[in-house]
Amino acid sequence: MSDISSPVSNLAAIDAAHHLHPFNDMKKLNENGVRVMQRAEGVHIWDSTGKKYLDAFAGLWCVNVGYGRTSIAKAAFEQMQELPYYNTFFGTTTPPATLLAQKVTSKAGPHMNHVFFTNSGSEATDTWFRLARVYWKALGHSTKTQIIARKNGYHGSTVAGASLGGMKYMHEQGNLPIEGIHHINQPYWFGDGGDLSPAAFGLKIAQELESKILELGADNVAAFVAEPIQGAGGVIVPPETYWPEIVRICKQHNILLVSDEVICGFGRLGSWFGYQHFGFEPDMAPIAKGLSSGYLPIGGVLVSDRVAEVLINEVGDFNHGYTYSGHPVCSAAALENIRIIEEEGLVERVRDDIGPYMAQALGTLKDHDRVGEVVSVGLIGAVQLTTDKASRRRFAKPDDAGAAVRNQCVTNGVIVRATGDRMLFSPPLIISRSEVDQAVETLGKALDWLKDHYHA
Ligand SMILES: *Cc1c(COP(=O)(O)O)cnc(C)c1O
* pLDDT averaged over 10-residue windows placed end to end, the chain, 456 residues: 54 95 95 95 97 98 98 98 97 98 98 98 98 98 98 98 97 96 98 97 98 98 98 98 98 98 98 98 98 98 98 97 98 99 98 98 97 98 96 95 97 97 98 98 98 86
Closest to 274 (Cα-Cα) out of 288, 284, 262? 262
Q: How far is the CA of 205 from the centre of ligand 1 (A)?
A: 24
**pLDDT value at residue 9:** 65
Q: How far is the CA of 287 from the centre of ligand 1 (A)?
A: 8
72 lines ligand 1 (CB under 6 A): no
Supply the residue whose CA is at minimum distance from atom 11 of ligand 1: 155
Closest to 124 (Cα-Cα) out of 314, 302, 274, 247? 302
CA distances from 28 to 8, 24, 25, 157, 172 (A): 22, 8, 6, 22, 20
Report whether 236 contacts 152 (CB < 8 A).
yes
Q: What span, in angstroms and rounded, lies between the C-alpha atoms of 35 and 107?
A: 38
**pLDDT value at residue 330:** 99
Q: How far is the CA of 124 from the centre of ligand 1 (A)?
A: 9
Q: How far is the CA of 233 from the centre of ligand 1 (A)?
A: 12
CA distances from 169 to 27, 161, 173, 219, 230 (A): 18, 13, 7, 31, 17
260 lines ligand 1 (CB under 6 A): yes
| The three-state (H, E, C) secondary structure of 370-431, written as one string | CEEEEEEECCEEEEEECCECCCCECCCCHHHHHHHHHHHHHHCCEECEEECCEEEECCCCCC
**pLDDT value at residue 374:** 98
DSSP state of 177: S
Closest to 53 (Cα-Cα) out of 407, 419, 445, 295? 407
Mutate to test the pocket of ligand 1, among 128, 152, 154 (most ligand atoms within 8 A of CB): 154
Q: What span, in angstroms and rounded, lies between the C-alpha atoms of 386 and 369?
A: 8
Cβ neighbours of residue 90 under 8 Å, at least 6 residues apart? none
160 lines ligand 1 (CB under 6 A): no
Supply the residue whose CA is at minimum distance from atom 10 of ligand 1: 155
150 lines ligand 1 (CB under 6 A): no
Report whether 300 contacts 116 (CB < 8 A).
yes
35-65+345-453 topology per CATH:
Aspartate Aminotransferase, domain 1 (3.90.1150)
Report whether 418 contacts 405 (CB < 8 A).
yes
Q: Which ligand 1 atom sits nearest the alpha carbon of residue 61?
A: 15
249 lines ligand 1 (CB under 6 A): no
Report residue 379 CA to chain centroid gap: 13
Mutate to test the pocket of ligand 1, among 155, 261, 269, 296 (most ligand atoms within 8 A of CB): 155
Q: How far is the CA of 448 from the centre of ligand 1 (A)?
A: 33
Listed by start position, the domains of the chain span 35-65+345-453, 71-343
Q: What span, in angstroms and rounded, lies between the C-alpha atoms of 63 and 79?
A: 21
71-343 topology per CATH:
Aspartate Aminotransferase; domain 2 (3.40.640)
| The three-state (H, E, C) secondary structure of 305-356, written as one string | HHHHHHHHHHHCCCCCCCCCCCCHHHHHHHHHHHHHHHHCCHHHHHHHHHHH
Cβ neighbours of residue 130 under 8 Å, at least 6 residues apart? 320
**pLDDT value at residue 454:** 87
Closest to 64 (Cα-Cα) out of 350, 434, 427, 437? 427
Cβ neighbours of residue 46 under 8 Å, at least 6 residues apart? 37, 38, 39, 40, 52, 53
264 lines ligand 1 (CB under 6 A): no
**pLDDT value at residue 2:** 46
Q: What span, in angstroms and rounded, lies between the C-alpha atoms of 313 and 127?
A: 18
Q: How far is the CA of 155 from the centre of ligand 1 (A)?
A: 5
Same fold, 35-65+345-453 and 71-343: no
How close are the terminal C-alpha atoms of the chain, in Å?
Answer: 49
119 lines ligand 1 (CB under 6 A): no
210 lines ligand 1 (CB under 6 A): no
231 lines ligand 1 (CB under 6 A): yes
Q: Which ligand 1 atom sits nearest the alpha carbon of residue 263?
A: 15
Question: Residue 385: beta bridge partners?
Answer: 371
Report whether 326 contacts 93 (CB < 8 A).
yes
Whether pTM > 0.95 for this model: the answer is yes
309 φ, ψ (degrees, to nearest 5): -65, -40
Cis-peptide into 177, omega within 30 deg: yes
**pLDDT value at residue 347:** 98
127 lines ligand 1 (CB under 6 A): no
Q: How far is the CA of 282 from the centre of ligand 1 (A)?
A: 18
Mutate to test the pocket of ligand 1, among 152, 158, 263, 284 (most ligand atoms within 8 A of CB): 263
**pLDDT value at residue 8:** 56
Report whether 301 contacts 286 (CB < 8 A).
yes
